[in-house]
Amino acid sequence: MRPVHVYNTLTRRKELLRPVNPPVVGVYTCGPTVYDYAHVGNLRAYVFADTLRRVLETAGYQVRHVMNITDVGHLMSDADEGEDKMLAGARRERKTPLEIADHYTRAFFEHAQALNIRRPTVVCRATEHIPAMIQMVRTLLERGYAYEIGDGVYFDVSRFAEYGRLSGLDLEAQEAGARVGVNPEKRHPADFALWRKADPQHLMQWDSPWGRGYPGWHIECSAMSMQYLGDRIDIHTGGADHIPVHHENEIAQSDAVAGHRVVQVWMHNEFLLVDGGRMGKSLGNAYTLDDLRQRGFHPLAFRYFCLNAHYRTKLNFTWEALEAAARALDRLWEAVYQLASCHRPGGRPPAELEEAFGEAVRDDLGLPRALALVWQVVRDEPVPAPVALDLLSRWDEVLGLGLDEAAAGRLGPVADPIPAEVLSMVEERRVARAARDWERADAIRQRLGDMGYTVEDGPEGPRVRRLRAIDAGQ
């Protein structure tokens, strides 16, 4: 195994990863709340988790990747307020919560697959793990970490000395600034629901020692992560928004039950912004992968866009930026296709190049640096074609950009059938050129450019190519 360094949100520094049971690395990723389509911000979180997994695997580790599906208990606000998101989804579409969960879970995995996100080793649904959650709440009550009040069972944050450490929260200040309207029965405003008692008409409820009800969102992740990864988990991932509430609460629950620190390394991806601001359904800018496809972008253009920024930096989504990523990916696909059709004998790749790539990605997922090396290989041609192709193919184990497919001509400009309309314009232009009607030939070239095509005039006649990483349907 090669050494991997990762940034730990808990200790606020880069650390050498030391798994509890090498070569296995246990990774838990907070999964989607399946009440609606994931937006591209959510998808950035899963591209990040997938990249982490790929880096660990190429470093020689065996990754046991567990991801949950939240299909109950996540309320409209991450703190315990508002309606359950699943119920809101069910009401919106006049379906049952189960139908909603099934539909959006399927959509999520279809989108994930289109982004070359590998399916986690274990995918676990919250509603199928209620007994484990009840057991955990019971243990917390027995050990004095929780208390029961009118509407449910709550975690008592004052009993957990480390509460607030992940996010650097100051509990005292929080108490002083507590908003009016918090449940007056709670002992501390930061106390959070482990189990909620449900009204008889509530659509999702289970029997429990505290009456019928449903679990809190945070206990779901504690219970499922420990069920599948034990009480010493190497890495836990999620988006940065989860740091102050969801993950702070998970730490309190899991560590209180285990009696020691459960998660060793916490890793968080920064946010994807839209036009510099928040992405939100209500703002009309929460784009889904299908929105990108409808605008003609290949899903992998979005993956390239994500990899081109470090996961710990905010990334601003604009159509122009996505377009630039799509063009770059198209050029890359084109380049590997050209390399594959070149039959000169190869040699061995220079060790420094290989080393530099490995070091970049094993240094807290330095993907932008890794991509720069990819371009060095493509542009500067430091190695013969077959060697370059072999190198890029191996690097794609980390990148997941479909380079083998592109080399085989199944992705990218060469794979896109050129529409008949474009072909006839190319022919029209050829005829115009033969008649030395340069003005007309240029006008046609201009129109082709506007349509996303370029023509090159070679000895064998004109060659037309598509410019963008477009065409979704594949």
What residues line the site for ligand AMP (CB under 6 A)? Answer: 30, 32-33, 41-42, 44-45, 70, 238-239, 241-242, 269, 271-272, 279
Question: Residue 12, by phi and psi: left (phi above 0), alpha (psi -120 to 50) or beta?
Answer: left
Q: What are the start-end ranges of the H helices in 127-247? A: 130-142, 171-176, 217-229
Q: How far is the CB of 385 from Zn ion (least distance, A)?
A: 46
In the complex with ligand AMP, which residue's Cβ is closer, 228 or 271? Answer: 271
In the complex with ligand AMP, which residue's Cβ is closer, 58 or 253? Answer: 253
In the complex with Zn ion, which residue's Cβ is closer, 116 or 254? Answer: 254
Q: Does 117 bind Zn ion (CB under 5 A)?
A: no
In the complex with ligand AMP, which residue's Cβ is closer, 154 or 271? Answer: 271
Q: Does 426 bind Zn ion (CB under 5 A)?
A: no
Q: Which stretch binds Zn ion (CB under 5 A): 30-38, 155-163, 179-187, 385-393?
A: 30-38
In the complex with ligand AMP, which residue's Cβ is closer, 242 or 445? Answer: 242
Residue 193 interaction partner, one of ligand AMP, Zn ion, none, beta carbon < 5-8 Å per kind: none
Q: How far is the CB of 44 from ligand AMP (least distance, A)?
A: 4
In the complex with Zn ion, which residue's Cβ is closer, 30 or 130? Answer: 30
Q: How far is the CB of 213 from ligand AMP (least distance, A)?
A: 21
Q: Rounded to an integer, what distance in angstroms lies between the CA atom of residue 357 and that of residue 369?
A: 8
81, β-bridge pairs: 77
The DSSP-derived string for 190-206 is T-EEEEEE--TT-SS-B
Residue 271 interaction partner, one of ligand AMP, Zn ion, none, beta carbon < 5-8 Å per kind: ligand AMP
Question: Residue 68, by phi and psi: left (phi above 0), alpha (psi -120 to 50) or beta?
Answer: beta
Tokens of 428: 């029209």
Residue 221 interaction partner, one of ligand AMP, Zn ion, none, beta carbon < 5-8 Å per kind: Zn ion
Q: How far is the CB of 311 from Zn ion (least distance, A)?
A: 18
Q: How far is the CB of 110 from ligand AMP (least distance, A)?
A: 16
Helix, strand, coil in percent for the chain, rounding step 5: 45, 20, 35
Q: Rounded to an integer, what distance in angstroms lies between the CA atom of residue 32 and that of residue 71?
A: 9
Q: How far is the CB of 239 from ligand AMP (least distance, A)?
A: 2
Residue 241 interaction partner, one of ligand AMP, Zn ion, none, beta carbon < 5-8 Å per kind: ligand AMP
Q: Which stretch binds Zn ion (CB under 5 A): 25-33, 34-42, 46-54, 383-391?
A: 25-33
Give 72-77's long-range contacts (Cβ < 8 A, gap of 24+).
Answer: 72/97, 72/126, 72/127, 72/204, 72/214, 72/215, 72/220, 73/126, 73/196, 73/214, 73/215, 73/216, 73/217, 73/220, 74/33, 74/35, 74/217, 75/217
At residue 355, φ and ψ (nearest 5 deg) are -60, -45
Q: How far is the CB of 48 from ligand AMP (least distance, A)?
A: 8
In the complex with Zn ion, which residue's Cβ is closer, 196 or 268? Answer: 268
Residue with the shortest CB distance to ligand AMP: 239
DSSP one-letter code for 21: B
In contact, 42 and 85? CB cutoff 8 Å: no
Q: Rounded to an integer, what distance in angstroms lies between the CA atom of residue 166 and that of residue 266?
A: 9
195, β-bridge pairs: 153, 215
Please give the sequence-ordered ranges of beta strands (E in DSSP) within 253-410, or none if there are none.
Answer: 263-269, 272-274, 315-317
Burial class (CB in 10 A: 0-12, 13-18, 19+), 89: buried
Using CB under 5 A, pick the residue from 47, 221, 267, 389 that binds Zn ion: 221
Q: How far is the CB of 325 from ligand AMP (least distance, A)?
A: 16
What character string, x for contact with Zn ion (CB under 5 A) and - otherwise, covers 366-395?
A: ------------------------------
In the complex with Zn ion, which residue's Cβ is closer, 4 or 243? Answer: 243
Using CB under 5 A, pick the residue from 30, 66, 193, 455 that binds Zn ion: 30
Q: Does 100 bind Zn ion (CB under 5 A)?
A: no
Residue numbers of the site for Zn ion (CB under 5 A)? Answer: 30, 221
